[in-house]
Chains A and B, each alone.
Chain A
């Protein structure tokens, strides 16, 4: 029997947290209103953390809080009270970077786990052993490691290991980049990163701009291996990502994990999931260090790096089982005659061509052109809220 692995999703707010858990995440990591490396995201209040934990625990799932800034003196006062409030709200683990926090949590809240943030760029057995002896329960390893190096760390330390599998990559070692501080005065190690690694520079004696931006990470092809070598948790990046992105990415990885767990993951299934993942990507992807020493193929040099994605057509807000009418909020333009799919949190997909469409008052319309417009469609199925309508994946 294979070891059950955790699928860990980001969530920038309560709605995203609920959606991502419904779509198959086993745990969610969130940021509080202080001490988190996404200082400019919405982030969760203590009340919202409480609600998040209650929601997750009812589903037998977990919530982790990032507390992973590199502290300055001024950040120290109040952090102990904050940790107490979050622990009392029911959090399952703190993701920390600054080690003085570890001791405080382990002493005062021994039931709450401490996960060492990737901000520490932990890359070797000895460093892992150091943190293990400090009471760290799990290490989020650096994104610069190969599968062999990850396996070696698991085999020789026995610690729970968390690996990033999907999303944006840093060009530099986490924690070892302050470009943002120097070029924009925003403190990267306290959540103010302004992504200077995506700027274009001039370089001496060359006309072509010097860029260092990386492609995004996509480890879908290596999930089976990561499961087999004993990784504890597979982490998706992106606390500021959209509902649709999270639902799609988490849904895909849920299916890949479950299929491999039941020895049913075929090449055909994998290609299908990869196609779906590619539809929500706004950058090209690579597996980066997991399978090779990162080279020029993992970066961008010229041209546009990001594309906008208009696959997401609408979010389901209700379903009338008697009349078989689904109500959704429009996100991108669609019209009668379009080939679409409704996908549900449980993974069901209803593919159809739109032949009739109604507005909020059940007047027939032919085009849904305004974001946030209420649209109704006739669909026969079991369609819970938070299902989503997208262009058909061919």
Chain B
């Protein structure tokens, strides 16, 4: 399993590669939500400075008609630089990709929808070679998917999980309802003593888990099952902590280091998300089982 890092900026990348990062995922200005964003020229600079590192660009925002021409233009421009792949949410990207047959690969990144092997195979047949598994499925489901698909798979190992995305400007609206100005910084909201991060950009509002999800207890099992990339998402994490986490995850992968696992728990706690927790949906039926 390769370590793929979502860095919070283009600084320090060489430090991350030295300690185990094999791939970087960047958001792209105007086309990404919930990613620190960079420009095309910054991507070119990163590629020049890190020629042996795989560079993926996440273009995961919902696309509207008025953005289609600039989307096509930017996808064509990306085709002129040696990026490894583009992560997409909106199917317009797949449609445009088919039209131009770009050099780079596509990564199916429909956040909460990458949940079964049939749909992975569907997109694989459409030429999509990679997928980012949803954070809301269990480790067993991930392994089962890997068994039944040729698609190369990413899984989030560490990071604040994104829970929801709205086109609405929920913070601006909230403050406006009280005749106050929103200062355009992320906020913390709480419910029953649990904290969540809420952010707003021109593309709407995202809500993230306040805890940093820690899937390192399952890392070896996922690695043994052949999952291809483990993502360490540095969004809302300090550069110093991110660097430590990359190094410790690398130790786990290379040396199966239990002390590194303990150290990670010391830094970020042990919220294992849904790796070992199955969601329910037929409430009455499932509650009876309990």
- State A171–B166 Cα separation when bound (angstroms): 6
Q: Which of B143-162 contact A (CB under 8 A)?
A: 144-145, 148, 161
CB of B167 within 8 A of CB of A71, answer: no
Would you call B178 an interface residue if the criterion is a C-beta within 8 Å of the partner chain's C-beta atoms?
yes
Question: Which chain B positions have C-beta within 8 A of A75?
Answer: 116
Residue ID in chain B nearest A289 by CB atoms: B167
Question: Which chain A positions have C-beta within 8 A of B198?
Answer: 210
Question: Which chain A positions have C-beta within 8 A of B209?
Answer: 182
Neighbour of B187 across the interface among A124, A181, A203, A298, CB < 8 A:
A203
Neighbour of A172 across the interface among B91, B119, B148, B165, CB < 8 A:
B165
Would you call A20 an interface residue if the criterion is a C-beta within 8 Å of the partner chain's C-beta atoms?
no
Neighbour of A126 across the interface among B95, B145, B277, B283, CB < 8 A:
B95
* Known A76-B118, A126-B68, A192-B283; contact A70-B95, beta-carbon cutoff 8 A: no
Q: Which of A98-131 contact B (CB under 8 A)?
A: 98-100, 103, 120-127, 129-131
CB of B163 within 8 A of CB of A127, answer: no
CB of A175 within 8 A of CB of B280, answer: no
Neighbour of B279 across the interface among A186, A212, A289, CB < 8 A:
A186
* Known A172-B166, A178-B164, A296-B174; contact A99-B119, beta-carbon cutoff 8 A: yes
CB of B279 within 8 A of CB of A173, answer: no
Chain B 157-199, CB-CB to A under 8 Å as 1, else 0, gives 0000101111111101110111000000001111100101010
Would you call A274 an interface residue if the criterion is a C-beta within 8 Å of the partner chain's C-beta atoms?
no
Question: Which chain A positions have C-beta within 8 A of B190?
Answer: 201-203
Q: What is the minimal beta-carbon distance from A182 to any residue of chain B, in angstroms? A: 5
Question: Which chain B positions have C-beta within 8 A of A212?
Answer: 166, 168, 170, 174
Would you call A185 an interface residue if the criterion is a C-beta within 8 Å of the partner chain's C-beta atoms?
yes
Question: Which chain A positions have C-beta within 8 A of B274?
Answer: 181
Question: Which chain A positions have C-beta within 8 A of B141?
Answer: 72-74
- State A197–B145 Cα separation when bound (angstroms): 31
Neighbour of A171 across the interface among B90, B94, B168, CB < 8 A:
B168
* Known A39-B282, A171-B170; contact A127-B119, beta-carbon cutoff 8 A: no
Would you call A327 an interface residue if the criterion is a C-beta within 8 Å of the partner chain's C-beta atoms?
no
How many chain A residues sit at the interface, stated as a range, is 35 or more
CB of B281 within 8 A of CB of A186, answer: yes
- State A126–B65 Cα separation when bound (angstroms): 8
CB of A100 within 8 A of CB of B94, answer: no
Chain A 30-67, CB-CB to B under 8 Å as 1, else 0, gives 00000000011000000000000000000000000000
Neighbour of A177 across the interface among B122, B165, B174, CB < 8 A:
B165
* Known A149-B65, A176-B164, A178-B163; contact A296-B116, beta-carbon cutoff 8 A: no
Residue ID in chain B nearest A212 by CB atoms: B170
How many chain B residues sit at the interface, stated as a range, is 35 or more
Residue ID in chain B nearest A145 by CB atoms: B64
Most buried by A among B63, B94, B167: B167
CB of B90 within 8 A of CB of A40, answer: no
Q: What is the minimal beta-carbon distance from A172 to any residue of chain B, in angstroms? A: 4
Question: Which chain B positions have C-beta within 8 A of A361?
Answer: none
- State A295–B169 Cα separation when bound (angstroms): 7
CB of A125 within 8 A of CB of B68, answer: yes
Question: Which chain A positions have C-beta within 8 A of B282?
Answer: 39-40, 191-192
Would you call A284 an interface residue if the criterion is a C-beta within 8 Å of the partner chain's C-beta atoms?
no
Chain A 191-202, CB-CB to B under 8 Å as 1, else 0, gives 110000101111
- State A131–B170 Cα separation when bound (angstroms): 31
CB of B94 within 8 A of CB of A125, answer: no
Say whether chain A's binding surface is mostly helix, strand, loop, or mixed: mixed
Chain B 122-143, CB-CB to A under 8 Å as 1, else 0, gives 1100000000000011000100
- State A129–B63 Cα separation when bound (angstroms): 14
Neighbour of A173 across the interface among B117, B165, B176, CB < 8 A:
B165
Neighbour of B119 across the interface among A71, A130, A171, CB < 8 A:
A71
Question: Which chain A positions have C-beta within 8 A of B279?
Answer: 181, 185-187, 190, 192
Would you call A249 an interface residue if the criterion is a C-beta within 8 Å of the partner chain's C-beta atoms?
no
Residue ID in chain B nearest A98 by CB atoms: B119
- State A185–B94 Cα separation when bound (angstroms): 32
CB of A131 within 8 A of CB of B165, answer: no
Question: Which chain B positions have C-beta within 8 A of A40?
Answer: 282-284
Neighbour of A121 across the interface among B62, B68, B136, B176, CB < 8 A:
B62
Q: Which of B92-113 contact A (CB under 8 A)?
A: 92, 94-96, 110-113
Would you call A261 an interface residue if the criterion is a C-beta within 8 Å of the partner chain's C-beta atoms?
no
Would you call B115 an interface residue if the criterion is a C-beta within 8 Å of the partner chain's C-beta atoms?
yes
Question: Which chain A positions have C-beta within 8 A of B260?
Answer: none
Q: Which of A206-235 contact B (CB under 8 A)?
A: 206, 208, 210-212, 214
Would you call B242 an interface residue if the criterion is a C-beta within 8 Å of the partner chain's C-beta atoms?
no
Would you call B207 an interface residue if the criterion is a C-beta within 8 Å of the partner chain's C-beta atoms?
yes
* Known A294-B168, A296-B173; contact A204-B191, beta-carbon cutoff 8 A: no
Residue ID in chain B nearest A79 by CB atoms: B118
CB of B167 within 8 A of CB of A173, answer: yes
Q: What is the minimal beta-carbon distance from B159 to any residue of chain A, in angstroms? A: 14
Please list 17 pairs of residues, one from A and one from B, whose beta carbons are closer than 8 Å in the complex, sorted by A's number: A71-B119, A72-B115, A72-B141, A73-B115, A123-B90, A149-B64, A173-B62, A173-B166, A176-B164, A177-B163, A186-B280, A189-B113, A192-B281, A202-B190, A202-B191, A296-B174, A299-B173
**Which 5 A-B pairs give the minimum distances between C-beta atoms?**
A192-B281, A126-B92, A296-B173, A187-B279, A201-B189
Sample of 6 further A-B pairs with CB below 8 A, known A177-B164, A177-B165, A178-B164: A40-B282, A144-B167, A186-B281, A189-B115, A210-B174, A212-B170
Which A positions have Cβ atoms within 8 angstroms of B? 39-40, 69-76, 98-100, 103, 120-127, 129-131, 142, 144-145, 149, 152-153, 171-173, 175-179, 181-183, 185-187, 189-192, 197, 199-204, 206, 208, 210-212, 214, 289, 294-296, 298-299, 301
